[in-house]
Amino acid sequence: MVEKQGTGQANTEAPLPAAIYAERVTKAFGEGKKKVLALDDVSLTIEENEFFTLLGPSGCGKTTLLRLIAGFDQPTAGAIMLRDRDISQLPPNQRSVNTVFQDYALFPHMTVAKNISFGLEMLGKPKDYIKKTVGDMLALVKMEELRDRRTDQLSGGQQQRVALARALAPRPQVLLLDEPLSALDYKLRKEMQIELKQLQLETGITFIFVTHDQEEALTMSDRIAVMNAGRILQIGTPRQIYNQPADRFVASFIGRSNFISVEVLSVEGRRARLKLSSGREVISPLPDNWVPRGRVTAVVRPEYAQLVAGSGDEGDLQGVLENIVYLGTDTQYHIRLPDETTFVTRSQNQCQETEAFEDGQSVSVVFKPEAVQVLRS
Amino acid sequence: MRIPKAASNPVSDMQRSRTRKNWLLSAPALVVLAAASSGPLLIVLVYSFLSAGEYGGVVWKFSTDAWFNVVFFRDIFDGTTTFADAHMTILWRSVRLSFITTLITLAAGFPTAYFIATRPRRNRSLWLFLITVPFWTNLLIRTFAILEVIRNEGLINIGLQTLGIIDKPIQMLYTDFAIMVGMTYVYLPLMVLPLYASMERLNFSLVEAAYDLYATRHKVLHRIIIPLVKPGIIAGSILVFIPSLGAFVTPRVLGGGKKMMLGNLIELQFGAGRNWPLGAALSVTLLALVMAALLMYVRTTQRHSGSVR
């Protein structure tokens, strides 16, 4: 009877605590000299109903963190809380957390429907409830016709859907997704990205998504944690991560970046006056309450800089156009600066436009407002 | 329409020539098998329908006496026929002991194979190597080693007596129990190896997935691991059950003269019994039993092959 209220019940409750709270989590593998820190003092809060992405190169610790949340491994130090309950030492079958595995890990000896009902059967749900939920889940992932198929008779995309339905069927508090799209081809991956986001909105379940694909992370996430070498470098919305990268690693891992050396002239509040190598000055917003000094590195995204002909005074940087790369939607210009570094700008193509520039031409780069972002390191 | 038709011929030709080549490759093995297995089998089958010679061997006269004697016993003096109790006891003992041996090796071999399959890859070959170490010693010597352990003045009895747990030795030698212990010891590797082979192929993320979906350890074993390693269980059971059924050395040494199995009965007919046709008929009976067991296994595998990759 209580179960019938379903999601309505959740909405009327007082604000829920964070879905996942990781407090100073460390995970070490091996002993002595061979000891490797897969996670090094990581803390993070993931809110209820959030689509949260752990993004980083392979070996950065993102999958380790996911496995700690799932319960397949235990942290060496620190604690993981699920809605204020310490779950660090609980086995996977006692956590309301389900996983979509990278290789899907569908049970090959069971049909699609049996795979989906497995979790519910293990929880000892009544038969008619299981039957109804399996039906709902099949409808949710649009797999009704294939309910009696064996899983090895399915395509990659279909297996992906079954894995999702199987993990969602027990209505976990948190759903973990371990690079679930990496085995799919480009077009299918694009479709599934939209579908996953839609699914998260429909079910209202907290998703924690692990990927090394920055584009995937930007497309789907509410917030992203960028990881490298067992640490979290930055947590923020896709916009924050892209526009105000915390350091050089984040800036180069996500999107294309131009790194330029600038001199800090003065800092007023959260803005800094910077001197560029050309001698021109620009105003740059500063993240947090950090005060840069002297020579620092700054990042400029290619599309936040515009190319103009000639080496006039109006440009922020001057150089020689070295290469023009036509990409369909836009065109990339590689410019050689006086200090022998290459600067790339990108502009969107218009229809019936002919190329206005040619190789070897002297050009200037004009920065759009707030295009220059000072990096901490 | 035309293109697939034209293309299909060279393909099927290629397949046919490939099939022919594969047959050629297996020819040496087939020749050896035909010569060393089918030939003697045929002789045994023929002998079972001949009359017994007085001092062993056969007399070339058609007779079904041997087959009659497998199942019935005719009294030498008054000519009355009764059911051949002794044969049936031996037959039943063979089947029963082989079955129990298979179960015990399965119960002991399953965790062993699981243990090896879950070791780091580079350590597995060492464990597998250790499993095969007993094969280095002659079967007879291994069997006598068991005898040394379980006989009345053996390791176990002397040990228990020294500790004061028992005052009289427990009779273990020359019992069904002794035969079972011996066969379990000898055939255990034959169970472990095929079990390991199928467990090694098991995708352990399936086990994790089942844990993740709230399965207890018990449920993971019964719903995921056992169904997926079933081919290994079946192969191991065949490899243990069939040689157990025809075991000869082990029951001879550990069962003494009293606790015979089919293999010993057959040997007796060709040796001291001087009744070659009966020995041949018993051999064919054993063969039929093995075939029946195999057929049963094949049918169960086929029923499950729909669900097991």
- Provide the domain limits for residue B117: 83-306
A311 and A334 share a domain?
yes
Using a CB–CB cutoff of 8 Å, tell me whether A258 touches chain B: no
B30 and B126 share a domain?
no
B263 and B124 share a domain?
yes
B213 and B93 share a domain?
yes
Full DSSP string of A158-199: HHHHHHHHHHHTT--SEEEEESTTTTS-HHHHHHHHHHHHHH
Residues A22, A44: contact at Cβ < 8 Å? Answer: yes
Judge whether A77 lies within some domain.
yes
Place of tokens 């979509």: A100
The candidate with the shortest Cα–Cα distance to B294, out of B229, B236, B238, is: B238
A58 and A145 share a domain?
yes
CATH number where A39 lies: 3.40.50.300
A207 and A283 share a domain?
no
Q: Read off the pTM.
A: 0.80
CB contact (8 A) between residue B215 and residue A118: yes
**Exposure b/e, B230-247, CB count within 10 A at least 16 = b:** bbbbbbbbbbbbbbbbbb
Specify the pLDDT at position B7.
44
Specify the pLDDT at position B1.
41
Facing residues of A323 across strands?
Answer: A334
Judge whether A14 lies within some domain.
no
CB contact (8 A) between residue B209 and residue A107: yes
Q: How far is B197 from chain A (nearest CA, A)?
A: 18
Q: Which of A72, A93, A97 sits opposite B215 (nearest CB)?
A: A93
| Token pair for B302 | 């086929």
Write out chain A residues lying below 8 Å of B205, CB-based: 101, 103, 105
Specify the pLDDT at position B169.
86
The candidate with the shortest Cα–Cα distance to A175, out of A196, A147, A158, is: A196
Percent of chain A with pLDDT over 70: 95
Question: Residue B63, Cβ neighbours under 10 Å: how many?
Answer: 15
> Crossing angle for the helix pair B139-150 and B176-201, nearest 10 degrees?
120
CATH number where B213 lies: 1.10.3720.10
Counting as low any pLDDT under 70, the low residues of chain B are: 1-15, 301-309
B88 and B36 share a domain?
no
Q: Which residue has the higher pLDDT, A360 or A51?
A: A51
**Exposure b/e, A331-357, CB count within 10 A at least 16 = b:** bbbbbbbeeeeebbbbbeeeeeeeeee
Write out chain B residues lying below 8 Å of A170, CB-based: 213-214
A227 and A165 share a domain?
yes
Judge whether A78 lies within some domain.
yes
Q: Which of A72, A118, A150 sits opposite B213 (nearest CB)?
A: A118
Judge whether B96 lies within some domain.
yes
A302 and A353 share a domain?
yes
B214 and B297 share a domain?
yes
A31 phi and psi, to 5 degrees? Answer: -130, 160
Which of A:70-129 have CB within 8 Å of B?
A: 70-72, 91-94, 97-99, 101, 103, 105-110, 118-119, 122-123
Strand A77-82 and strand A258-268: pairing?
A: unpaired
A94 and A239 share a domain?
yes
Asked if residue A44 has pLDDT above 80, the reply is: yes
Please state the rounded mean pLDDT for residues A15-29: 87
Specify the pLDDT at position A351.
82
Please state the rounded mean pLDDT for residues A309-338: 87
CB contact (8 A) between residue B214 and residue A122: yes
Q: What's chain A's average pLDDT? A: 89
Q: Which of A72, A105, A123 sits opposite B214 (nearest CB)?
A: A123
Residues A165, A140: contact at Cβ < 8 Å? Answer: yes
Given its phi and psi angles, is residue A47 left (phi above 0), alpha (psi -120 to 50 degrees) or beta? beta
- Provide the domain limits for residue A351: 256-374
Using a CB–CB cutoff of 8 Å, tell me whether A180 touches chain B: no
Q: Write the CB contacts of A32 (distance below 8 Å, at least 6 apart in sequence).
A: none
Instruction: Give the neighbor-by-neighbor strand order of the sheet with A85-86.
Output: A36-46, A20-29, A77-82, A85-86
Dist CA A119 CA A135 (whole Å): 14
Residues A23, A194: contact at Cβ < 8 Å? Answer: no
Specify the pLDDT at position A18.
87
Using a CB–CB cutoff of 8 Å, tell me whether A239 touches chain B: no
Judge whether B68 lies within some domain.
no
Specify the pLDDT at position A7.
43
CB contact (8 A) between residue B206 and residue A91: no
The residue from A219, A243, A267 where one domain ends is: A243
Q: Write the CB contacts of B249 (distance below 8 Å, at least 6 apart in sequence).
A: B139, B140, B143
B208 and B159 share a domain?
yes
A294 and A145 share a domain?
no
Judge whether A121 lies within some domain.
yes
CB contact (8 A) between residue B214 and residue A91: no
Interval A220-275: pLDDT, tens:
999 999 999 999 999 999 999 999 898 899 999 998 999 999 999 988 888 889 99
Interval B100-112: pLDDT, tens:
999 999 999 999 9
Specify the pLDDT at position B52.
86
Q: Write the CB contacts of A157 (distance below 8 Å, at least 6 apart in sequence).
A: A184, A188, A192
Structurally, chain A folds into a number of domains equal to: 2
Q: How far is A227 from chain B (nearest CA, A)?
A: 24
A29 and A50 share a domain?
yes
CATH number where A343 lies: 2.40.50.140
Dist CA B19 CA B50 (whole Å): 42
Specify the pLDDT at position B297.
77
Specify the pLDDT at position A208.
96
Asked if residue A289 has pLDDT above 60, the reply is: yes
Dist CA B205 CA B209 (whole Å): 6
Which of B:115-174 have CB within 8 Å of A?
A: none
| Token pair for B265 | 């009965």
Interval A166-218: pLDDT, tens:
999 999 999 999 999 888 888 888 988 998 999 999 999 999 999 999 999 99
Judge whether A6 lies within some domain.
no
Specify the pLDDT at position A159.
93
A30 and A175 share a domain?
yes
Interface test with A, best of B211, B213, B218, B226 (most A CBs within 10 A): B213
Dist CA A314 CA A282 (whole Å): 12
Structurally, chain B folds into a number of domains equal to: 2
Residues A246, A231: contact at Cβ < 8 Å? Answer: no
Specify the pLDDT at position B10.
56
A100 and A216 share a domain?
yes
Interval B278-291: pLDDT, tens:
999 999 999 998 89
Specify the pLDDT at position A11.
47
